[in-house]
Amino acid sequence: MKFEDIFSDVGGFGRFQLIILLLACAPRLILPWHFLLHNFLSAVPSHHCHLTAPDSLNLTHQDRLLAVIPADKDGSLSSCKMYSVPRLHLINMTLGEYNQSTVISCPDGWDYDQSQFTSTLATEWDLVCEKRSLNQAATSIFFIGVMLGALLFGYLSDKFGRRKTLLLAFLFTMVAGTLASFSTSYPMFVVFRMLCGIGLTGISIISITLSVEWTDVEHRTSMAIIPSPMWSVGNVLLALIAYFVRDWRWLLFAVTSPCLVIGALCWWIPESARWLLANGKTKEAQVSLQKCARVNQRLGSDLGLSSEQGDQN
């Protein structure tokens, strides 16, 4: 008796598969939160060199800006340069002192506009001007982790099973994402974000693989496609979350913490019977198929399996 025949008896697309489909939609909801998160984490708010014009002159904030910050070619105030000595027409000094004023890089750090973001990677570690490339590199390093995750979790899921590896991916992502949100340095952050990318790829590929392997041939395409629109829903929710959470640490923690809940829900999904048979675990496959039959109300199904059937799938 072929596996597809047995699978048809226990229900190739019934209540059991609909529950798995619902659970498979949940990871698709949170994946874009991380893949698009750097649009908010790496945001660079308006900034300029820390003002050094003395307050004793009773200058307004705008006058202090004009006294310290030079203008760029487009007329806007520079984000990365300042005068070594404040300009003459705003501060009482001799002409000689004014002539000695030169344009220099910001020696005392930057002042950031916090009207839109209270904290980002750029403001946390001053990843602006000469260090701006480090801010952009954080995104690239994350996607290196995504690439490595496809290789690592693809191998692990074939070696140790879909279910165990999926739960490991959720735990891996949760731990790495949480540690990244509490990073005390830029190198620590990018390392844990890369590890987070590895775990997220595991969630992505294994959740789809597990749901498809529990579905009959006729409905596999639908099983893989239906969760896809959840990506768009996730995009909208990310914008909403970022609107209310404007500190990068809490934002990263907010989009990571649901992994714990969704991972707990996915605990319900049994191991893929196809994988179990392919690896000679006939008794365990029988237990998984019995669970499928019970949920699909096919308790009278004949589940006589042999280890040779794994080689036919």
Statement to judge: residues 60 and 167 lie in one domain: no
**What is the pTM (predicted TM-score) of this model?**
0.82
**Do 286 and 271 fall into the same domain?**
yes
What was the pLDDT predicted at 57?
A: 56
Whether pLDDT at 294 is above 90: no
Is 187 within the bounds of a domain? Answer: yes
- Provide mean pLDDT across the span 89-109: 60
pLDDT at position 178 over 70? yes
Residue 181 lies in a domain: yes
Residue 55: what pLDDT?
54
pLDDT category of residue 97 using cuts at 50, 70 and 90? very low
Instruction: List 81's β-bridge partners, or say none.
Output: 105
**Whole-number pLDDT of residue 299:** 64
Distance of CA 83 to the CA centre of its chain: 41
The domain in which residue 103 lies consists of 47-112
Q: How many domains does the chain have?
A: 2
Q: Which residue has the tokens 């596999």?
A: 220
Amino acid in position 271: E
Decide: residue 35, CB within 10 A, 0-12 exposed, 13-18 middle, 19+ buried. Answer: buried
Polymer length in residues for the chain = 313
Q: pLDDT band for 233, please (50, 70, 90 cuts).
A: very high
